[in-house]
Amino acid sequence: MNDSARESAGSETPIPWREWDGDAFAAARRDDRPILLYLTAGIGHITHLFELYVLADDEVAELARERYVPIRVNVFAQPDVYERYNQGGWPSLCLLSPEGDLLHGRGRATARQMRELLPQVADYWAEHGREIRNRIEERGRQELPRLRAPEPGELTDPAPLEGIRHDAIAHYDTRYHGFGRAPKFPMPELLLFLLEDTEQEYAQLALTALEALRVCPLHDPLAGGFFRYAATETWAQPQFEKLASVNLALLGAYVEAFRTTGEQRYENVARGIVSYLERTLADESGAVRAGQDSESTPGHAGDYYGWSREEVISALDEDDDLAAVALTYFGVSPHSLIAGEASRAYLEERVPPGQIAMRLTKTEEAVVESLAKARERLKRARDDRDSPPVNETRLVADQGRAAGVYAQAALVLNEPGLLQRAFALADTIWEKGRRDGGGLARALGDPPDTTYLADLTEVALGSLELYRVAGRGTDLVHAVHLVSEAFNLLGDEDGVGCFDHLARDREHGAVARPYTPFDANSRLLHATAVIAALTQSRDWHTRALELSAGLAMQRMRNRLRDAAYGRALRRLVHPPLMVDLIGTDSGALRRRLVVEAPAGTLLRAFDPEQATPWTPADKYENAAAATAEAVVYVGGRATELLRDTGEILERLQETR
């Protein structure tokens, strides 16, 4: 798997990194040396600093070569290793026994700390390795989390949806907005959970957080899109790498915010994300690449995204009027200096246009016009710089996410080209991302040695959303096929839910231990609940209930990470709104429903050209007619045949 357009600095260190494979573990056992495991995405300022100033340190490198078997794992390529060993994110550093048992782990360290740590652990292993092995064998290796059904009478959370809501409020930052403390992430899944809530209080909480994200340093005001996270609770010190997964999820949140409010500020952000994804992360075929690095030159965080006051003024062609507006608006000042930079700051919306108008005795319209000019010139100047490289990996999960969110954005933003892109991505996955023997490859163009639950669920959810928006029967068939494969290939016969990946012929270290991840199984529940509704299958509904019960047992261990579970559970415990669209001329009606129907409304197509085993053309006698009719399901009960779009929407809105 291709790490990046530019090889990570870690590959240039004097450490002879090995793959996570049988040869590396055999060497460790043969020489009885511990393993130095380095988990990295190969991008990000912190990663580059660690590789430049710690891993490239001569003494650290010599210790790694002489006393350890060093293994480097790309977290995009091998999420199973990352899930089991990560120490709070990437980069992570783990010292393992030759069998892969964790001896010591940490997020990162200084060169001085590594010079002390590496010989200490190596010496201790040389002296006590046999004793440590015996102790591990006697007590047994720690089991990884497994979903299980509750025992009869075992207490479970009686109202998990309420619990997720209350957790969101309890962790909401009322001063700076968003959720949690430093480091601060945008948490798009939680935003979507709240946006879809029928209680206005919770939806408003999400809208307020989205507005805070719009004006904070995490949002790139020139090219669009969002950086990965901020180092502080005030959203200051953004970490400038951009990931496709984060931006696709945030695109879904901003599209939904615009759909429900009609406010242009949310539309503008959504269009900016689309522009960034299409111009920067899309390759020549339209596939979405995994992300973009934080900087052009490793170790120099401000070389692309940073601005001094002089650079701003120069980019604006010495126009004093534009400079006054731009410097005030973007807050280029010592307050926003990039860490490690003497004069370069990041851009953010520090002062709203209305306040700038009062300060500079201008009209707000004039300020807005000046800002548009300033943005255009600043972007042009930044485009002349060497841009950070793009990670060339085309993750199959990202293609699935893009197919789903592009489909919705196409109708809500009135951008038909995005729907064609969604179709192309979905078809590419099926043509180039399938794995012999079932399942999906991790990335397009890479020979797979396993299949991952997260990839199956993301592609299935994207296909289900594409079916909802466009009514193409193939997408529903593919979604059902992928979720069936998840249960058939990865199902835990001794519990509930699915393992994170298909076991290889020989596994190493903690990867050999079975693990049913909460997050991926929550997404699986979402897909299963939607399929149960669309197919009206009792078997699928029973499977969803069993999986939900297993997830309920682990929810309290995953607080603030349980929004995906909440979104899925909402579709399971509250009978979903569903509309059967009948006839070959239902496109306009479908578009209205996608844009105006309550969140979560499912749409099925009854059209001979899009028939599936669950939506046969002969269910309704008018299915082949050039008409547009509908039957609305509310609480599992069907209405009479409806033809008026306004009445259909009225029936749906009555349930909110």
Could you read off the pLDDT of 342-374 as tens digits, one per residue?
Answer: 889 999 988 999 999 999 999 999 999 999 999
Residue type (1 letter), 265: R
The answer on 335 and 192 residing in a single domain is: yes
- Locate 379 and state its tokens: 């972007």
Residue type (1 letter), 344: R
The answer on 30 and 114 residing in a single domain is: yes
pLDDT reported for residue 452: 98
CB–CB of 325/370 below 8 Å? yes
The answer on 234 and 215 residing in a single domain is: yes
The answer on 426 and 535 residing in a single domain is: yes
- Locate 452 and state its tokens: 């991952």
In a domain, 279, yes or no: no
CB–CB of 205/164 below 8 Å? no
pLDDT reported for residue 2: 52
Say how far residue 386 (Cα) sits from the centre of its chain.
27
The answer on 477 and 343 residing in a single domain is: no
pLDDT reported for residue 10: 43
The answer, yes or no, to whether residue 6 has pLDDT greater than 70, is no
Closest CA to 257 of 219, 216, 203, 221: 203
The answer on 533 and 451 residing in a single domain is: yes
The answer on 437 and 564 residing in a single domain is: yes
pLDDT reported for residue 636: 77
CB–CB of 584/624 below 8 Å? yes
Quick one: what percent of the chain has pLDDT higher than 90?
A: 83
pLDDT reported for residue 574: 83
The answer on 584 and 563 residing in a single domain is: no
More confident residue, 173 or 108: 173
Domain residue limits at 105: 9-139
Query: Could you report the per-residue pLDDT of 287-319, keeping only the tens digit for each?
Result: 999 999 999 999 998 999 999 999 999 999 999
In a domain, 266, yes or no: no
List, in order, residues 6 or more apart from 178 with CB less than 8 Å away.
Answer: 172, 184, 186, 187, 209, 212, 213, 235
In a domain, 405, yes or no: yes
> What b/e readout covers 497-531, taking b as 16+ CB neighbours within 10 angstroms?
bbbbbbeeeebbbbbeebbbbbbbbbbbbbbbbbb
Q: Which of 341, 367, 391 is the last residue before a domain boundary? A: 391
CATH number at residue 58: 3.40.30.10
Number of structural domains in the chain: 4
List, in order, residues 6 or more apart from 469 with CB less than 8 Å away.
Answer: 407, 408, 410, 411, 419, 422, 590, 594, 603
In a domain, 150, yes or no: no
The answer, yes or no, to whether residue 489 has pLDDT greater than 60, is yes
The answer on 363 and 476 residing in a single domain is: no
The answer on 195 and 306 residing in a single domain is: yes
The answer, yes or no, to whether residue 151 has pLDDT greater than 80, is no
In a domain, 285, yes or no: no
- d(C-alpha 521, C-alpha 295), whole Å: 35
User: Residue 521 — φ and ψ, nearest 5°?
Assistant: -70, -25
pLDDT reported for residue 146: 87
The answer on 203 and 103 residing in a single domain is: no
CB–CB of 515/538 below 8 Å? no
In a domain, 258, yes or no: no
Computed from CA positions of residues 507, 512, 514, 515, in that sequence, does the dihedral angle turn out positive or negative? negative
Q: Which of 391, 420, 436 is the last residue before a domain boundary? A: 391
pLDDT reported for residue 158: 60
- d(C-alpha 421, C-alpha 101), whole Å: 45
In a domain, 288, yes or no: no
Q: Which of 391, 425, 449 is the last residue before a domain boundary? A: 391
pLDDT reported for residue 576: 82
In a domain, 145, yes or no: no
**If you write DSSP's letter for every residue of 170-224 in order, what string do you get?**
HTB-TTT-SBSSSSB---HHHHHHHHT-SSHHHHHHHHHHHHHHHHSTTB-TTT-
The answer, yes or no, to whether residue 5 has pLDDT greater than 50, is no
User: Residue 288 — φ and ψ, nearest 5°?
Assistant: -90, 125
CB–CB of 33/69 below 8 Å? yes
The answer on 234 and 202 residing in a single domain is: yes
CATH number at residue 520: 1.50.10.20
CB–CB of 221/347 below 8 Å? yes
